[in-house]
A and B are shown apart, each in its own frame.
Chain A
């Protein structure tokens, strides 16, 4: 049994969204598309509970606010990965309001939050940041080392099925 799901990858500019996709899939289209039309499509099939889930990943150009992302790119999304950079406070300072806005424009879809670039901060800093955010189910990732990248997509796929 197979399913196709649209996944949007969002977050500020330079948080490592494209690098996470690069880690997760063998890319076929050039990153140039992001600078040209603001999005690039990638695909990866994962197995979840006996289902072949085809994740069509919309890697959307980074914006400091979700309000700036074209509405049409979010339409019909079955799930979202919200990425922030642990080493740059500006990328998670307004995280709660960004998530509220996302829930308002695409209600009911599962959102997996990823705290990326964990290789750039030490354990104490990381714990402090995550405590201050007080969010459930934040997954710490590193596109550089590949840590938890596969798991992040798997977790979202499971929530979407």
Chain B
């Protein structure tokens, strides 16, 4: 055996294990390469891990990120308090108003139900009063709880929308312009939706109601707040008719327009100043 052949033989004997290890490693690398580059195989391996992680994240999300999120929201609110109040105030204000009104209505229904069962003197008294006036019992309780009030009255010339008299308990918008806008809204609604001379009778706005009573040459708009009971509406109707009969017709006969307007406004005050106190 030559020296070279012997050396080769020795190398083969000594490095056989290394060669096998290298081949095995190459095979494993190839498998790994296939797994990484083959989308399906990679998904097969990674998906279960991701699903586990996702589940764990969902389970522990509030614990992991809750404090940071809360802190961040608190910081944002603190830094922009005015903006938050500006956005939330009208919404919350309206919600509270609506909630209270609705709760009082529910309460009045409950009171009504209770009173029907009760045989107390008060119950009988209210029942007799309701029977005599023809007003539903719940309306009487409701009107006692959230009293309806007249806020403003406008007497307006029917076609032109010119204000011919007004009455208000508080400082309000310019009466001439309100009268014009009310006439325009009334005309718009009647043109758009009515047939055969039907007329707009009321406008609801949150806790306010504008009651419109039309006469031949003028109409009266009454802005009311609170819970409207049938008794209140009847009383208001009667007062408006009596006002129209006594004051308006008399004023219309007057020669001077200004004198008429003054007469109508003072007539309104006289007629309706104590109206809320005698609604019952």
Contact = CB atoms under 8 A, between A and B. Distances in A.
Of listed A1, A4, A5, residue having the most chain B CB within 10 A: A4
- Size bracket, chain A contacts: 20 to 34
A112 to B, nearest CB: 18
B162 interface: yes
Interface string A1-29: 11111100000000000000000000011
B157 interface: yes
Given A6-B161, A33-B181, A56-B162, A70 B176 contact: no
A37 interface: yes
A37 B180 CA distance: 13
Contact of B176 (A33, A56, A76): A56
B14 interface: no
B180 A38 contact: no
B159 interface: yes
A72 B180 CA distance: 12
A41 B179 CA distance: 9
Contacts of B191: 70-72
A76 B162 contact: yes
B4 interface: no
A76 B257 contact: no
Contacts of A5: 162
Nearest to A52: B258
A58 B184 contact: yes
Nearest to B163: A4
B188 A54 contact: no
Interface string B154-193: 0001111111000000000110110111001101101100
A77 B184 contact: no
A75 B173 CA distance: 24
A137 B187 CA distance: 32
Contacts of B180: 6, 41, 43, 56, 58
A39 interface: yes
Contact of B161 (A29, A33, A38, A56): A56
Contacts of A28: 173-174, 177
A76 B159 contact: yes
A6 B184 contact: no
Nearest to B159: A76
A39 B184 contact: yes
A27 to B, nearest CB: 10
A101 interface: no
A117 interface: no
Given A56-B161, A56-B162, A72-B190, A4 B176 contact: yes
Nearest to A70: B191
Interface in B180-215: 180-181, 184-185, 187-188, 190-191
Contacts of B163: 4
B176 A54 contact: yes
Contact of A41 (B158, B181, B188, B190): B181
B154 to A, nearest CB: 13
Given A2-B258, A43-B174, A73 B184 contact: yes
Contact of B177 (A43, A73, A76): A43
Nearest to B186: A72
A3 B185 CA distance: 24
Contact of A6 (B162, B177, B185): B162
Contacts of B161: 6, 41, 56, 58, 76
A42 interface: yes
Nearest to A57: B180
A70 B258 contact: no
A99 to B, nearest CB: 21
Given A56-B161, A70-B191, A29 B184 contact: no
A55 B177 CA distance: 10
12 contacts: A3-B257, A4-B176, A28-B173, A39-B184, A39-B188, A41-B181, A41-B184, A43-B176, A56-B177, A72-B190, A72-B191, A76-B161
